[in-house]
Chains A and B, each alone.
Chain A
Amino acid sequence: MTPPLLVGTRKGLFVLEADAADHWTIRHHAFAGIPVTITALDPRDHTLYAGLNHGHFGVKLHRSDDLGRTWTELPAPAFPAAFPADEPDRPAPAVSLLWSLEVGAEPDELWAGTIPGALFKSTDRGTTWRLVESLWNEASRRLWFGGGYDAPGIHSILPDPRDPRHLLIGVSCGGVWLSPDAGDHWEIGGAGLVAAYMPEERREDLAVQDPHRIARCAAAPDRVWMQHHSGAFRSDDGGRNWTRLSGLPVSDFGFAVAAHPTDPDIAWFIPAESDETRIPTSGRLGVTRTRDGGRSFERFDQGLPPPPAFDLVYRHGLAVAPDGQRLAMGSTTGGLWTSYDGGERWHLANAHLPPIASLQFAA
C-alpha cells in the first residue's frame, strides 16, 4: 500500500491518499491560501509538523497529532529579542523562511533550518526553540550569501542513522557542515565541490558552495548525494569529500536529489536547463537515475507531460518511499506525479495543485 503524500504548496498543505487503483484524492487541505514551505513527520510518535510562510504575518509552525486533520499552532523558531546584527549598519536577524525540519536523536527532538542561515533545536515537540549559536558564530558564516533568496538558508538536515547526533547540513550558499555532537561543534565539509559561479580563485572555497539539496542513503549513511548549483556530486565519506559526476544525459543542473533508502548506488536527479532559465531542458520534464553509484545514468520521462512543459521541481519536491520503488514528484506548475517502479514510469496524481514547495511520503 502506498503511504499518503504530504504536499506543501503555495496555497496550503494537502494530504493525499491513493486507493487500490492508484487514484489519489485529497483527504485534507489545511492552511488554505497560506504557503507551506516544509513538512516533517516524526515516525516515532506520528506527529506531523508544517512550516508556513504567511508573508505579511511571518513564519509560523503548526503540529498535528492526527496526520493533518487538526492542527495546533506553536511558536515558530525565532532569534532572541535584541539579538546582535552581523554588522552595525545591518538589521538584527529575523527568521524569514522555515526551509527544513528534521527529527533529532532524542524523542521529541526536532531541528529546523531557516533563512537566514540558522539552525534551531527543539527538545519538546516544537513547543520551544533555541538557536544553535555554535553554527551561527562560525567565523566563515560571513562568507555565506543567498542563493535565490536575499539571505543564505539551511535546506538539508541529515542526521546519521547510525548515530543521529552526527549531523550533516547543507547551506545555500554556505557549503556543507558536519557536527559530531548534535550541534555543539562544527566542521566544514565539501572538499571537491566547485562553484562555477565564483571568481576563478574562489571556486573551491568550502564556505561559498551552493548545495541545492543533499540526500543520504539511510542504510549506508556514508553515501551521500548532492545536486549542487554547479553539477551533481557524490560523497563516500559522509560529506567530507565529494566527486563530481559526469555523463548525466541532459543537464547536471537542477534542485532536487533523492537517495535510495537501502541501495547506496541508486539516486535520482531532476535536471533543469540552466541556472539562467530554471525550466526543463528543451521543455521536456524528466528524471535521471543512476544505479551504479553515479558511473552511468538513465533518463525517464514516460508518463510525464510532453514538451513544452515548464515544470520545475524544487529542492524538497522529490520523495522516495521506504521501499525505494515508490517515488513522488511535485512541480512549481502544480503537477504531482508518482512512480511505482523506481522512477521509470510516472503517473499523474493531480495536475491542478498550487505550486509545490515540498512533499514527502507519510511513512
Chain B
Amino acid sequence: MPQVTFTAHLRRLAPPSPVEAVGDTVADALASVFANHPLLETYILDDQRRLRRHIALFVDGERARLADPVSPGARIAVLQALSGG
C-alpha cells in the first residue's frame, strides 16, 4: 500500500507519518487518509478539491500531481512551501 508522509507543520492534524493509504492515484491515496481526518483535507485541498497553491506533492522523490498514478509501494510526501518572516 502507498505510504503518505505529511509535513511536520501538520502534525497537529495529521496521523503519525508515514500512514498507510489506499488508492491508485495520489488523489485517491490522500482521500483514503482524509476519510479518517476530515479537517486535514481542508489544509491540503481548497474548496474545489484543488491542491492548494503552496502545497507540493512528491511520489518517490519526484514532484507529482493529484491525478498521477501511484504503485502499491509508493512513498507520497505532502510538503508546503517555506514561509517568510
A79 nearest in chain B by CB position: B47
Chain A residues contacting B10 (CB-CB under 8 Å) are 57
Q: Could you say which of A55, A92, A94 contacts B83, with CB atoms under 8 Å apart?
A: A55
Known contacts: A55-B83, A73-B39. The answer to whether A81 contacts B54 by CB under 8 A is no
Chain A, residues 53-87, CB within 8 Å of chain B (1/0): the string is 01111101000000000000101101111110000
A83 & B54 in contact (Cβ 8 Å cutoff): no
Within 8 A of A (CB), among B38-85: 38-39, 42-44, 46-50, 52, 54-55, 80-81, 83
Binary A-proximity of B10-45 (CB < 8 A = 1, otherwise 0): 100000000000000000000000000011001110
CB-defined contacts of A56 to chain B, threshold 8 Å: 9, 52, 54-55, 80-81, 83
Secondary structure at the A interface, as helix, strand, loop or mixed, is: loop
How many of chain A's residues have a CB under 8 angstroms from any CB in B? 20
B47 A78 Cβ-Cβ under 8 A: yes
B52 touches A58 (CB 8 A): yes
Q: Separation in Å of the B12 CB from the closest CB of chain A?
A: 9
Say yes or no: A82-B83 contact (C-beta < 8 A), given A55-B54, A75-B39: no
User: Which B residues are CB-close (under 8 A) to A80?
Assistant: 47
Listed from nearest, the 10 A-B pairs whose CB atoms lie closest are A94-B47, A57-B43, A56-B54, A94-B46, A78-B47, A56-B80, A79-B47, A92-B48, A94-B48, A81-B49
Spell out A's residues near B (CB within 8 Å): 54-58, 60, 73, 75-76, 78-83, 91-95
